[in-house]
Structure 1
Amino acid sequence: MDFNHFLSSYYPDPEYGGRRLYADMVEQAVAAERLGYRGVTLPEHHLINVLLTPSPLLMAVKVAGVTERLELVTSVVVLPLHDMRILAGEIVQADILTDGRLVVGVGRGAFAYEMARMGSPIESSKEKFDESLDVLIALLTGEEVEWHGDWYDFEPLTIM
């Protein structure tokens, strides 16, 4: 049986500092690899005082630089908060920079107040998530993608 370690971004005390929090997360990842874990999971949270990880892809690239074999799993990239045309390119770049160890987990968001603060109400997140996932898959698997939907409308483009 394989296990992943969740890299918590819990930040209860501003005195602790973001630099220290991220260093702890990286240290946990190194320990997880040393202990034989299959991978680490990286959350995404915005504008919440006690959770501080706006970019799981950036953290994945950092962790890849100090580990050799860990899978780097986003848990989760909140699709309704992103433009899929930008995110698709960022995913491809992060996958290259992590030597193919990136595993992208996606979701629609967990906290209504977080989603509202980001301008993406939880009430519409299911519909936006559904289309965003379809667009993301098309962009990551297609050579040239055109889309005309409720949330996305663009002429043919290639992400990389």
Structure 2
Amino acid sequence: MKFQIAVNMERMDASLDMKAVRDHTLDMVKMAEQGGFEIAWAAEHHAMEMTIAPNPFQILTWWGEHTSKIRLGTAVAVAPYWSPIRLAGEAAMTDLLSDGRLEFGIGSGAYQREFDRMHPGLKQSDAWRYMQEMLPAVRALWAGDHELDGDFWNYPVSTSVPKPAQKDVPIWVAARSPITFDYAVKNGYNIQSWPLTRPMSEAELYMERLQEAVDANPGCKRPTMAMMRHTAVYDKPEDVDVPLAAARTQLGQFENYFKNLGDVENGFAKPIPLESLENRAEYDADMLTENLMFGTPDVVIEKLKKYEAIGVDSFIYYASLGLGHKEQKRSLELFCDKVMPAFS
């Protein structure tokens, strides 16, 4: 099993200096490269301090200037917020400036709150249609001249300038529903899945959906499957209280954004009391400790072996969960030094 890292610029409140937040992500990516991670992922989100990433290609290009081996991916570029020509050009420029290290991840978006601001009138549940029109257009623009008369975008003959440095840029789609697994397998795209805070059975469900899609499309190659979890590795079992408290705070903010409650001031969401949620069992402290990639190195190795056993090709270490910078770096240090050698 290989390893990838997702790390965001994030602030839970205004007490953190933005330059320190910025520099922390680069420190983490440098550590990940030195430790043997294969890909570093940057998200796209708007008007929220919990994930400060209005343009993932800017972040990746910056990381690329300070690294040499680790590949650089969007997780994910949100299709409805772009035009095909602009998205193709921005992605290709990042690939060119990083000497062909781009991993192009695309998705349909998560938060209705963002759609209300970035694409007013579009329901999140309909956004997958935009993704499925966008991706073929971007690939065609990378290849040469292309014109589009689509349902959502129209343009005369145009092309991507520049072209990507890679002949074939690896494509990733975010998938949880059967329709997206089928789409990825049919088209030869790699898959990222995120079981959120749900049990291991959720990860097993995604692997079942992948196998069903492969079985339904004979002759199509099985894509690479990457699974993401919030991760915190610590020295002693009793150290769990720190990442657990951080995770519960961040998840309370996540629920506010996700449910589009409107209780957001200057980019900071007021955390929802987790005990008030209908799905509050998903945030039970014992369940979070069990379901997330939390633990001492030995415990984390044992958990990761289960993902390896069900066929996960790459584990995405999700570093950003409201944890302090010092604790994030100690966790990544332990993961590189104590956990990854068990999978070499």
Alignment TM-score, normalising by the size of structure 1 = 0.93
Deviations 1:14-59 (A, max 9, x none): 2213322111101100011111111211111111232211111111
Distance 2:102 2:146 in 1: 23
> Which one has the largest radius of gyration?
2
Is 2:138 the counterpart of 1:136?
Answer: yes
Gaps of 5+ in 1: none
- The alignment-based identity, stated in percent, is 26
- Counterpart of 2:71 in structure 1 is 71
Paired amino acid for 1:65? E
Q: How does 1:30-109 map to 2 (within 5 A)?
A: 30-109=30-109
Whether contact under 8 Å (1:9, 1:43) holds in the other structure is no
Kept after mapping to 2: 8 A contact 1:9/1:25: yes
Q: State the shift of 1:135 in Å.
A: 1.4
Are 1:8 and 1:25, in contact at CA under 8 Å, matched by a contact in 2?
yes
- State the one-letter code of the partner of 1:81: Y
| Paired position in structure 1 for 2:147 | 146
- CA drift of 1:72 comes to 0.6
Structure 2 gaps, min length 5: 162-344
Q: Which has the higher helix share?
A: 2
Residues in 2 aligned to 1:14 and 1:83: alpha-carbon distance in whole angstroms:
33
Deviation at 1:13, TM superposition (A): 1.6
Which deviates more from structure 2 when the two are superposed, residues 108-117 or residues 132-141?
132-141
> Aligned-pair distance for 1:123?
4.0
Mean Cα displacement is larger for which, 62-71 or 111-120?
111-120
Q: Distance in 2 between matches of 1:20 and 1:13?
A: 13
What is the identity, as a one-letter code, of the residue corresponding to 2:147? E
In 2: Cα distance, 1:129 partner to 1:104 partner: 13
**TM-score, normalised relative to structure 2:** 0.45
Q: Find the residue that maps to 1:150 and give its secondary structure.
A: coil
Does the 8 A contact of 2:142 with 2:159 survive in 1? no
Give distance in 1, aligned partners of 2:2 and 2:8: 19
Letter in 2 for 1:22: R
Distance in 1 between the 2:75 and 2:126 partners? Answer: 21
- Alignment RMSD: 1.4
Distance in 2, matches of 1:136 and 1:80, equals 13
SS in 1 for 2:47: strand
Query: What is the SS of the residue equivalent to 2:72?
Result: strand
User: Is structure 2 residue 156 aligned with structure 1 residue 158?
Assistant: no
Bigger shift: residues 77-86 or 45-54 = 45-54
